[in-house]
Amino acid sequence: MTNSTPPRQKRGNAWSSLWLLTRRDLKVRYSTSLLGYLWSILDPLLMSLIYWFIFTQVFSRSVGEEPYIVFLLTALLPWVWFNGSVSDSTRAFLRDVKLVRSVALPHWIWVGRIVCSKGIEFLLSLPVLIAFALFTGASVSWQLVLFPLGVLMLAALTLGIGLLVAPLVVFFRDLERAAKLILRVLFYASPVIYGAADLPEFARPLAWLNPLSGIFALFRAGFFPDQLNWALVGASAGMTLAFLVAGVLVFRRTIGGVLKEL
């Protein structure tokens, strides 16, 4: 008679392991830090204040909506989650080689824990958005209920891209630098400091080819209903699903080679 772990128990062990590794990441990141939790809000806060100053005090702004600081934060906070997750996923296997080799866990967890830890930091940064919304008197509409849908879609997109990038970097190390360069360009190609509708006619296709466009529209809809474009959200949902499926397939086909390469 063979000893086999029931599938349900295996899934339970995987999720508990994911949570333990996520907690470990957060603990390591903040245990030796004097400011701790504040670091999760300082980066997006300073970026928002810089862009707010440039586009409201230095230049005459023709993009976005008022209050502009809230407009910025509703996309900048999710962007920080996406950017940090994809960037860190390039070293998902390389920074913990010994653990990856020795610990018998589903290998997708090494990417999943990055997406989860950055997602928790995103949730911890939301008080900044709430504070500015209250301070500026931003109006809130019923579309705020779409916020969790934005969270779910962004998590799926980030996981899919992470599953694509993490194993490929092991074989092609230059991909790590390329990913960071692409992320830098993608920031300005995504509707963060502007809305998708602010793009000139010739650049409109960029919004439809960028899955972040519809996702950011969901995050903004609660404060700026005019930013919600369901067709754009649908396109983003389709691309998110495509990235997730592609990520899973590539990950499954390459993970054996990754373990040999490490």
Amino acid making up residue 86: V
The answer to whether residue 73 sits within a structural domain is yes
Q: What is the pLDDT of residues 99-143, one digit of tens each?
A: 777 777 788 888 999 999 999 989 988 988 998 999 999 999 999
- Which range (49-63, 193-207, 223-237) has the least confidence? 49-63
Above 50 in pLDDT, residue 189? yes
The answer to whether residue 164 sits within a structural domain is yes
The answer to whether residue 50 sits within a structural domain is yes
The answer to whether residue 13 sits within a structural domain is no
Using the 8-state DSSP alphabet, how is residue 196 labeled?
G
Asked if residue 237 lies in contact with residue 218, where contact means CB atoms within 8 angstroms, the answer is: no
Average of per-residue pLDDT values in the chain: 86
The answer to whether residue 24 sits within a structural domain is no
Sign of CA dihedral 249, 252, 254, 258: positive
User: What pLDDT is attached to residue 152?
Assistant: 97
Sign of CA dihedral 37, 38, 43, 49: positive
Tokens coding 233: 């959200």
d(CA 44, CA 54): 15
Predicted TM-score (pTM) of the model is 0.88
Q: Residue ranges of the alpha helices (H) in the chain?
A: 7-31, 39-53, 68-89, 97-102, 109-136, 147-171, 174-189, 204-209, 211-221, 230-261
Range of the domain at 156: 34-261
Q: Express as a percent the part of the chain with pLDDT over 70.
A: 89
Asked if residue 14 lies in contact with residue 109, where contact means CB atoms within 8 angstroms, the answer is: yes
User: What pLDDT is attached to residue 33?
Assistant: 60
Distances (CA, A) of 70 to 45, 51, 80, 102: 11, 12, 15, 46
The answer to whether residue 2 sits within a structural domain is no
User: What pLDDT is attached to residue 2?
Assistant: 43
pLDDT band at residue 58, thresholds of 50, 70 and 90? confident
Domain tally for the chain? 1
The answer to whether residue 44 sits within a structural domain is yes
